[in-house]
């Protein structure tokens, strides 16, 4: 998730771009850059690191340009570096991009064969060269953009400037947000409203397939085919803080709602649609090793550890490989048995968690092959692991992990399918069926978000309680842990997650009319056993809250509260069922007035032991 800003008008462009980018830094900030049309030449300045580094480098330069584009990057393809920072240039044009180009490898190969030289590792640079290629063939800038975009597959929001057309700024959108804004004799574009809110409140939201041409006096929008398109202008009356969170009260809530998009981005380019098979080109591990390895060991902390526990079910049952899951801080001190036939999977949103990193280093020293599943490109774990699979969740700002968790589950599912195919456990037909479930997952998660009002209503009662118990079985037991962790870390209510079968071995003593028990009750082969647990809670005057599916509501004992989500396939069901757990925790914290995004005593990234 990157940030884009563009300006054309009578004012110097650079200060407007830098100020706009500052307001977009929440979208990611491993590098930044600007392109300015200075006279008849494009000047590009880029720097690795936060925007302040770029701003510092520009302090002593003077630019007269009144047209420019800027970008703050959150790396997806290619590590954070000056070369990989945007804008990218090609033969008289410069371009910034937010999104992921799925077919960039094949496009890059073709362009290289045609003589185009690549200066970065990014997927973005192919768009710049494709446009230049069409310009060479005689197309006008707007036509060249259209022709290039017809060749790319994936998500994009792009802004382009041409030396040959100094009065126009171009933009296009497909799957990544882009807003246009009209001021007095000036026009703006940005990935998000806060970037331009200081200048104007009149916004036009681009839609997928739109191509826009901005001059100082006018904005025109056409379709990819070049047909005129009419889009309404919307007056925005948010304050700047609201705008940064896209109108959501907290980053955590925004990130919960971003999950369908985050899952889509994580899947982008990883499913070979034609052949219906997993395409983990980025994995880069030797297939022979994957076929012959003896076991998988997963290490992680907190929410990432819960993802590993779900991943164990996926990999064991789909790939038939034994999986051991360890809390990273325990692994490093227990003299673990790992060696050359072990695949060590380190799961971490940040890629910087000290305990997980130490576990990865230890396993590597003992000869294991290491794979990191990470959200932050270029983080320490990704540099040290033998291979990395990224979760393309975009920056997660709320301390409570939400979209990082669901995208970790998606990557673990892809890995399980890949391993199952590599070792012959899964047939091509099995893989195709299991992939069909995955393709519908973003829609399922979207539908699950409709449970928000029910969560908000139930949060009223929960917010008054001192303790809450969470129960789950099988692949949903880790979700009981995750639901309890979410609640305790942001609402400060004591919560415990238990495998439901363990209830009778101790926790049942706690149940009385004061004890809410959140029960994960999907319609699966353990459903009857979970229903018995709900009955047991009811029989002791406890207050069961079933996270369930519509078909089961009538089977619940009287006095049970229900939150429903759509039915989903066996291994992906946790991705859907976790949504109400996140929302419940959020609304309870909201009622209690705690600091949802930065709960007390916690840090987003725990880089000390």
By CB under 6 A, residue 329 contacts ligand M6R: no
Closest to ligand M6R by CB, 401 vs 549, is 401
Distance between CA atoms of 195 and 255, rounded to whole angstroms?
A: 19
Distance between CA atoms of 356 and 368, rounded to whole angstroms?
A: 15
CB 60 within 8 A of CB 14: no
Query: Cβ of residue 496: shortest distance to ligand M6R, in angstroms?
Result: 16
- Greatest alpha-carbon pair distance for the chain in Å reads 80
By CB under 6 A, residue 222 contacts ligand M6R: no
Q: Residues 435-474 vs ligand M6R: string with x where CB under 6 A?
A: ----------------------------------------
Closest to ligand M6R by CB, 16 vs 484, is 484
Distance between CA atoms of 354 and 591, rounded to whole angstroms?
A: 33
Query: Cβ of residue 462: shortest distance to ligand M6R, in angstroms?
Result: 18
Stretch that binds ligand M6R, among 4-12, 203-211, 343-351, 576-584 (CB under 6 A): 343-351
Interface with ligand M6R (CB under 6 A), residue total: 17
Query: Cβ of residue 303: shortest distance to ligand M6R, in angstroms?
Result: 3
Query: Cβ of residue 293: shortest distance to ligand M6R, in angstroms?
Result: 24
Among 8, 252, 301, 471, binds ligand M6R (CB under 6 A): 301
Distance between CA atoms of 499 and 554, rounded to whole angstroms?
A: 24
Among 304, 342, 372, 548, binds ligand M6R (CB under 6 A): 304
CB 383 within 8 A of CB 412: no
Among 84, 187, 303, 406, binds ligand M6R (CB under 6 A): 303
Query: Cβ of residue 328: shortest distance to ligand M6R, in angstroms?
Result: 8
Stretch that binds ligand M6R, among 36-44, 154-162, 347-355, 565-573 (CB under 6 A): 347-355
Among 22, 349, 362, 380, binds ligand M6R (CB under 6 A): 349
Burial of 35 (0-12, 13-18, 19+ CB in 10 A): buried
Query: Cβ of residue 604: shortest distance to ligand M6R, in angstroms?
Result: 7
Closest residue by beta carbon to ligand M6R: 302
Q: Is the dihedral of CA 465, 469, 470, 472 positive or negative?
A: negative
**Which active-site residues does the annotation give?**
2, 604
Beta bridge partners of 44: 35
Among 33, 302, 516, 574, binds ligand M6R (CB under 6 A): 302
Query: Cβ of residue 395: shortest distance to ligand M6R, in angstroms?
Result: 12
By CB under 6 A, residue 96 contacts ligand M6R: no
- The secondary element (H helix, E strand) that includes residue 40 is none
The tokens describing 417, both together, are 């399918």
CB 532 within 8 A of CB 519: no
The closest alpha carbon to 159, from 7, 1, 41, belongs to 7
Phi-psi region of 276 (alpha: psi -120 to 50; beta: other; left: phi over 0): left
Degrees, nearest 5: CA angle 503-508-510: 135
Q: Is the dihedral of CA 445, 153, 23, 171 positive or negative?
A: negative
By CB under 6 A, residue 370 contacts ligand M6R: no
Query: Cβ of residue 402: shortest distance to ligand M6R, in angstroms?
Result: 8
Query: Cβ of residue 473: shortest distance to ligand M6R, in angstroms?
Result: 22
Distance between CA atoms of 245 and 512, rounded to whole angstroms?
A: 40
Closest to ligand M6R by CB, 14 vs 481, is 481
By CB under 6 A, residue 353 contacts ligand M6R: yes
Considering only residues 482 through 501, tell me which ones interact with ligand M6R, judged by CB under 6 A: 485, 489
Burial of 118 (0-12, 13-18, 19+ CB in 10 A): middle
Helix pair angle (428-439, 441-448), 10° resolution: 30
CB 264 within 8 A of CB 442: yes
By CB under 6 A, residue 605 contacts ligand M6R: yes
CB 165 within 8 A of CB 141: yes
Stretch that binds ligand M6R, among 180-188, 231-239, 246-254, 399-407 (CB under 6 A): 399-407
E-assigned strand segments in 193-258 = 202-205, 210-214, 219-223, 234-235
Closest to ligand M6R by CB, 1 vs 145, is 1
Considering only residues 69 through 88, tell me which ones interact with ligand M6R, judged by CB under 6 A: none
By CB under 6 A, residue 606 contacts ligand M6R: yes
Distance between CA atoms of 379 and 570, rounded to whole angstroms?
A: 33
By CB under 6 A, residue 356 contacts ligand M6R: yes
The separation between CA 28 and the C-alpha centre of its own chain, rounded to angstroms, equals: 12
Closest to ligand M6R by CB, 84 vs 349, is 349
CB 25 within 8 A of CB 51: yes
By CB under 6 A, residue 309 contacts ligand M6R: no
By CB under 6 A, residue 478 contacts ligand M6R: no
Query: Cβ of residue 591: shortest distance to ligand M6R, in angstroms?
Result: 19
By CB under 6 A, residue 259 contacts ligand M6R: no
3-state secondary structure at position 228: strand
CB 419 within 8 A of CB 290: yes
Stretch that binds ligand M6R, among 22-30, 56-64, 215-223, 342-350 (CB under 6 A): 342-350
Distance between CA atoms of 252 and 584, rounded to whole angstroms?
A: 12
Helix pair angle (141-149, 125-136), 10° resolution: 130
Stretch that binds ligand M6R, among 129-137, 185-193, 350-358, 512-520 (CB under 6 A): 350-358
Where does this chain bind ligand M6R (CB under 6 A)? 301-304, 348-350, 353, 356, 399-401, 485, 489, 602, 605-606
């Amino acid at each position: 998730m990157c940030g884009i800003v563009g300006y054309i008008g009578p004012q110097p462009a650079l200060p407007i771009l830098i100020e706009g980018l500052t307001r977009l830094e929440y979208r990611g900030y491993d590098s930044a850059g600007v392109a300015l049309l200075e006279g008849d030449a494009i000047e590009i300045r880029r720097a690795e690191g936060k925007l302040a580094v770029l701003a510092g480098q520009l302090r002593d330069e003077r630019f007269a340009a009144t047209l420019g584009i800027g970008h703050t990057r959150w790396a997806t393809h290619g590590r954070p570096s000056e070369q990989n920072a945007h804008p990218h240039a090609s033969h008289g044009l410069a371009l910034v991009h937010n999104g992921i180009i799925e077919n960039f490898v094949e496009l890059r190969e073709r362009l290289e064969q045609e003589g185009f030289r690549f200066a970065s590792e990014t997927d973005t640079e192919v768009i710049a060269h494709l446009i230049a290629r069409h310009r060479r063939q005689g197309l006008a800038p707007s036509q060249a953009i259209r022709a290039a975009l017809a060749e790319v597959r994936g998500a994009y929001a792009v802004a382009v400037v041409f030396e040959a057309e100094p009065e126009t700024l171009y933009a296009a959108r497909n799957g990544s947000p882009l807003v246009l804004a009209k001021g007095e004799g000036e026009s703006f574009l940005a990935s998000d409203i806060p970037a331009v809110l200081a200048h104007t409140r009149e916004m036009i939201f681009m839609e997928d397939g739109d191509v826009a041409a901005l001059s100082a006096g006018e904005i025109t929008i056409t379709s990819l085919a070049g047909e005129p398109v009419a889009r309404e202008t919307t007056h925005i009356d948010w304050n700047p803080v609201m705008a940064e969170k896209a109108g959501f009260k907290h980053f955590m809530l925004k990130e919960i709602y971003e999950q369908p998009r985050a899952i889509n981005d994580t899947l982008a380019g990883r499913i070979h649609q034609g052949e219906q098979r997993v395409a983990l080109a980025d994995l880069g591990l030797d297939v022979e090793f994957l076929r012959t390895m003896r076991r998988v060991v997963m290490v992680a902390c907190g929410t990432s550890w819960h993802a590993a526990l779900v991943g164990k079910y996926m990999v064991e049952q789909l790939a038939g490989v034994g999986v051991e899951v360890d809390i990273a801080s325990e692994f490093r001190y227990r003299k673990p048995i790992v060696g050359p036939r072990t695949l060590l999977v380190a799961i971490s949103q940040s890629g910087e968690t000290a305990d997980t990193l130490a576990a990865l280093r230890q396993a590597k020293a003992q000869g294991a092959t290491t794979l990191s599943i990470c959200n932050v490109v270029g983080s320490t774990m990704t540099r040290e692991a033998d291979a990395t699979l990224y979760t393309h969740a975009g920056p997660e700002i709320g301390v409570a992990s939400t979209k990082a968790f669901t995208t970790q589950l998606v990557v673990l599912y892809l890995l399980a399918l890949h391993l199952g195919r590599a070792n012959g456990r899964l047939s091509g037909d099995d893989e195709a069926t299991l992939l069909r479930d995955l393709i519908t997952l973003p829609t399922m998660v979207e539908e699950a978000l409709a449970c928000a009002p029910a969560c908000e209503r139930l949060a009223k009662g929960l917010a008054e309680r001192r303790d809450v118990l969470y129960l789950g079985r099988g692949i949903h037991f880790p979700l009981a842990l995750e639901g309890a962790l979410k609640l305790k870390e942001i609402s400060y209510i004591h919560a415990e997650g238990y495998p439901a079968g363990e209830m009778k071995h101790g926790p049942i003593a706690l149940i009385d009319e004061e004890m809410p028990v959140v029960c994960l009750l999907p319609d699966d082969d353990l459903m009857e056993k979970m229903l018995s647990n709900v009955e047991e809670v009811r029989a002791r005057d406890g207050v069961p809250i079933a996270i369930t599916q519509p078909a089961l509501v009538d089977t619940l004992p009287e006095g049970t509260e229900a939150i429903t989500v759509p039915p989903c396939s066996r291994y992906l069901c946790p991705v859907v069922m976790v949504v109400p757990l996140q929302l419940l925790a959020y609304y309870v914290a909201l009622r209690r007035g705690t600091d949802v995004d930065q709960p007390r005593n916690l840090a987003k990234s725990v880089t000390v032991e």
